[in-house]
Structure formats: C-alpha cells, structure tokens
C-alpha cells in the first residue's frame, strides 16, 4: 500500500513537472511580446493550480529578507498571501478571484507584503491563466512580479510635496490664513449651493494699524497680525473659513449661520482684540462689517461687507455694522 502511494505521489510530481516544462517553453516564446519595463523585476512565477505549487525566482523571497535555506521545498499560493498587508488583502484576493473565474483577462495589482523583519515592501504583480480544463477551471497561471518599493516612496514624497504646494498656494504666508484667491473661489461655490445658507461674510479691518507700523516698524506689525489671527480663530467654529484679505484686513465666511449669531461672534472677536491691546500706547481695535448672501456673487457680497466695515470706522471704530445697524463694543 505504501509503495502504491509512493508511485502515485511520483506520478503526480511528474505531471506537475510536465505542466511546468510545457509552460516554460510556451513562456519562452511569449517573452518577446512583453510590454512592460524590467526595472525592479524579481522574476517570473508559475502556479500549478491543481497541486497548489508555486515555482518562482527566489529573488522575491530573498527581497523579503529570507535566506535560500529558509524557502520551503514546496510553496503554495498562501505562502505569499498570508504576508499581505491587511489593507491590501481583500482587494488583492478579489482581483485574483475575478481572474481565476474568467471575469478579467489578466490578474494585475499592487500590494504590500510583509518582510521577515516586519516592515512592508510594495510589489507590482501581474499574471494570467495560461491553461484551463474543458470546464474552464484554471490549471496553470504564469506571471511576473516587480519590487516597486522605491517607486512608491517617491510617489509618497511627491504627493506630500504636492499637498504642501497646494497648501501654500492657498494660504497667506504670514498668518497661515487662507488667501484672497481661496476665499473668493470657495465663497462663490457656497453662494450657489443652498446647503451653505444662511451664509454670512464678515470683513474685519484693524484700526490704527498704520500708526503702529510707523511707530514700531513692520516686523512688530507682522507679529501683531499673527496675534490678531490667533484671536480671530479662537472664536470660530471648524467649518468657518478665515482669510487674510490683504494688509491688515481679514475676511471670515460663516456658512449655515444666522446673522445674529455671526454678529455675536464678531463682537467677541472685536472685544478680544481691543482687550489685548488696551494698555498699549497705540490702542488697536477692529472695525467689522457683515453681509448676508442674497443675489450677489462673491465679489459683490464681500464688497457689501466691506462697505459696512467702512460704516463702522466712520461711526467711531471698534464696532460691528450690518447695513445701518451700529452695535458698539
């Protein structure tokens, strides 16, 4: 009985080798048709589906930090799949299942795989069922794998740089608030979308700032602008959008805020600024104008708030104005 088992085992192994040899010859004939670069290639792999035996270039395993004597004599598909990053596992397995079932022409994916030391490397893996039985069941799959860890690192660095460039392109360099362009673009979107209404805009301008710059210089003036920025942001909610409109003028967009609520917030901001500089030789305060979105575009709405801000200055500064309403701090 044992001898019979050994014979059957040898027959199965011979069939595996026969299938592999057949596919290697066919693969050799297909090599000239490959349409991808070989940079980072860890070589080809071949999966005998029936016996779940994977034959491959040892580079893939060596790249994971294992030595050649740590590679099992027989490796199944699970040797690699059990090392997939948890976030990549379901997606990768579904891609493979879709190809094995004939839903896709090729198996192609990128995934992270755990190294012996516990970190992860990125691989690009591409394969194709090269032989099926009469019922369509896969018998043999051939593929190629690439180490794309360095490429992924470069992509990550580039993404961070792009995010940084996007950030600085929409932020004021001195205060960190959104800049003039960003305020206009987002206000235009909010005006057209009812989900942001009621929508208010406030323009806040520092009183006596020119005198402070003349007295103490622009470096001191810059520090004041940074401190005023902190005071403005302290009274805002996360969904409010604050920007530096230019010079010593600020703009705040208040989506989904009723006028009375916005007036209360702006009055608190004005009180914070006047209290901060009450003991200074040059007493800084804020004049604020508020406008509620109606039929205007972004430019028209900010202009309306700006005119109300000048009303506040004309009425004695350090106050909040909406239309002809004057609310003294």
CA gyration radius for the chain? Answer: 34
Residue with tokens 């995010």: 163
Indicate whether 144 and 99 sit together in one domain.
yes
**Helices 298-314, 180-192: inter-axial angle, 10-degree rounding:** 110
- Asked whether residue 165 is domain-assigned, the answer is no
- Asked whether residue 297 is domain-assigned, the answer is yes
Indicate whether 144 and 264 sit together in one domain.
no
Name which of 150, 231, 152, 245 is nearest 202 in CA terms. 245
> Which are the catalytic amino acids?
248
- Distance, in Å, from the CA atom of 223 to the CA atom of 229, rounded to the nearest integer, reads 10
Indicate whether 189 and 322 sit together in one domain.
yes
Indicate whether 145 and 187 sit together in one domain.
no
- Asked whether residue 163 is domain-assigned, the answer is no
Q: Pick from 96, 118, 153: which residue ends a domain?
A: 153
Q: Phi/psi of residue 325, each to 5°?
A: -80, 125
Query: For 27-63, what is each residue's pLDDT tens digit?
Result: 544 443 444 444 567 888 899 998 898 888 788 788 8
Name the residue range of residue 316's domain.
171-328
Q: What is the mean pLDDT of the chain?
A: 86
DSSP 317: S
Q: Quick one: pLDDT at residue 18?
A: 56
Indicate whether 54 and 176 sit together in one domain.
no
For the chain, how are helix, strand and coil distributed in percent, rounded to 5? 45, 25, 25
Q: Quick one: pLDDT at residue 328?
A: 39
- Asked whether residue 158 is domain-assigned, the answer is no
- Asked whether residue 304 is domain-assigned, the answer is yes
Residue 68: pLDDT over 50: yes
Distance from chain centroid for Cα 139: 41
Q: Phi/psi of residue 172, each to 5°?
A: -75, 130
Q: Pick from 122, 153, 184: which residue ends a domain?
A: 153
Q: Which 3 state secondary structure label does DSSP give 78?
A: helix
Instruction: Give the CATH number of the domain where residue 297 resides.
Output: 3.30.70.270
Indicate whether 324 and 175 sit together in one domain.
yes
Indicate whether 205 and 320 sit together in one domain.
yes
pTM given for the model = 0.58
Query: For 74-98, what is each residue's pLDDT tens digit?
Result: 888 898 899 999 999 999 999 999 9
Q: How many domains does the chain have?
A: 2
Q: Quick one: pLDDT at residue 59?
A: 80
């Amino acid at each position: 009985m044992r001898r019979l088992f050994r014979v059957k085992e040898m027959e199965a192994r011979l069939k595996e080798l026969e299938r592999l040899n057949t596919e290697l010859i066919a693969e050799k004939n297909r090599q000239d048709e490959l349409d991808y670069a070989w940079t980072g290639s860890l070589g080809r792999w071949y999966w005998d589906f029936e016996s779940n035996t994977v034959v491959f270039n040892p580079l893939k395993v060596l790249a994971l930090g294992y030595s050649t004597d740590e590679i099992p004599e027989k490796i199944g598909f699970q040797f690699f799949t059990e090392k997939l990053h948890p976030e990549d596992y379901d997606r990768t397995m579904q891609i493979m299942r879709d190809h094995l079932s004939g839903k896709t022409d090729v198996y192609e994916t990128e995934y992270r795989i755990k190294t012996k030391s516990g970190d992860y490397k990125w691989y690009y893996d591409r394969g194709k069922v090269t032989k099926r039985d009469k019922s369509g069941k896969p018998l043999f799959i051939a593929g190629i794998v690439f180490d794309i860890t360095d490429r992924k690192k470069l992509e990550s660095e580039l993404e961070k740089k792009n995010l940084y460039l996007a950030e600085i392109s929409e932020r004021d360099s001195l205060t960190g608030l959104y800049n003039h362009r960003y305020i206009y673009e987002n206000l235009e979107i909010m005006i057209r979308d009812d989900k942001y209404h009621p929508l208010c805009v406030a323009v806040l301008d520092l009183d006596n700032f020119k005198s402070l710059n003349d007295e103490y210089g622009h470096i001191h003036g810059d520090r004041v602008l940074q401190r005023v920025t902190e005071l403005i942001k302290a009274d805002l909610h996360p969904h409010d959008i604050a920007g530096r409109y230019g010079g010593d003028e600020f703009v705040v967009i208040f989506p989904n805020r009723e006028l009375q609520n916005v007036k209360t917030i702006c009055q608190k901001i004005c009180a914070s600024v006047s209290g901060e500089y009450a003991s200074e030789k040059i007493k800084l305060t804020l004049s604020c104008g508020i406008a509620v979105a109606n039929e205007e575009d972004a430019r028209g709405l900010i202009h309306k708030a700006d005119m109300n801000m000048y009303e506040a200055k004309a009425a004695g500064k350090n106050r909040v104005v909406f239309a002809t309403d004057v609310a003294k701090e």
